A and B are shown apart, each in its own frame.
Chain A
Amino acid sequence: DTGVSQNPRHKITKRGQNVTFRCDPISEHNRLYWYRQTLGQGPEFLTYFQNEAQLEKSRLLSDRFSAERPKGSFSTLEIQRTEQGDSAMYLCASRDSYTGELFFGEGSRLTVL
């Protein structure tokens, strides 16, 4: 399967701990996006990479959040000093430049106790 892969799929952590999520996009896609989805809501844009360059960050991305895509391939999203309000599904997507379609991974669900 060459779809978008995310891990871990589930993470339970205590408030104040740091967590990191990884996203492996479809290999030929140079655009990668992170979204956050809370219960009963649609996904909300967090940040976007073109190759290794982070081109846009949402106001939702506080200074406790950092995302990287060091070699223009996989990406990581780190949350420092987690808070209960960070509990959500974190979705990664990569974009086909020709069709414009976004391909989403299955998401990483974070629960902060």
Chain B
Amino acid sequence: AQSVTQPDIHITVSEGASLELRCNYSYGATPYLFWYVQSPGQGLQLLLKYFSGDTLVQGIKGFEAEFKRSQSSFNLRKPSVHWSDAAEYFCAVELTDSWGKLQFGAGTQVVVTP
């Protein structure tokens, strides 16, 4: 079955430490890949996207993600987190013939400690 998996429901990280959020997908072909962030009371905001080309993608707020076809993964990273990065993060995929319909993972809640 087609799926998007975010293995970590909850991650706690110290301010200034590095962060990596995992995302794996299960599809026959390489989909378009996205990471969104959702802060309390806010809408979803796009951090970055991968359609094709360079497998290391730079996004907003200092985030980057790497697409690894062999592992069907699209992990999100940030070298040094800020307290404002506390939020829920969603990985999403779009099949190339699905009219822009996204399938989301269940999300990873990130808590940043002082």
Residue-wise, chain B 89-111 has the 8 Å CB interface mask toward A (1 for contact) of 01010000001111111110000
CA distance A111 to B6 in the complex (A): 27
CB distance B106 to A41 under 8 Å?
A: yes
A44 in complex: contacting residue of B32, B43, B45, B104, CB < 8 Å: B104
Distance to closest chain A CB from B24 (angstroms): 14
* Chain B contact residue count (CB 8 A cutoff): 22
Interface of A is mostly: strand
Nearest to A93 among chain B residues (CB) is B44
Complex interface: chain B residues within 8 A of A44 (CB): 104
Q: A4-B43, A42-B92, A42-B107 are known contacts. Are A101 and B49 too (CB-CB below 8 A)?
A: yes
* Residue B28, interface by CB 8 Å: no
Tell me the dominant secondary structure on chain B's binding face: strand
Nearest-neighbor residue (CB-CB) of B103 within chain A: A45
CB contact between B100 and one of A31, A42, A104 (< 8 Å): that residue: A31
B42 within 8 A of A: yes
Q: With A and B bound together, what is the CA distance between A42 and B4 in angstroms?
A: 10
Q: How far is the CB of B59 from chain A (nearest CB, A)?
A: 12
Contact A41 B102, CB 8 Å, known A100-B32, A104-B43: no
A interface, CB within 8 angstroms of B: 3-4, 31, 33, 40-45, 48, 50, 55-56, 91, 93, 95, 100-107
Interchain residue pairs with CB less than 8 A apart (22): A4-B43, A31-B100, A33-B101, A40-B106, A40-B107, A41-B106, A42-B92, A42-B104, A43-B102, A45-B103, A91-B43, A100-B32, A100-B49, A100-B100, A102-B46, A102-B100, A103-B46, A104-B36, A104-B43, A105-B43, A106-B41, A106-B43
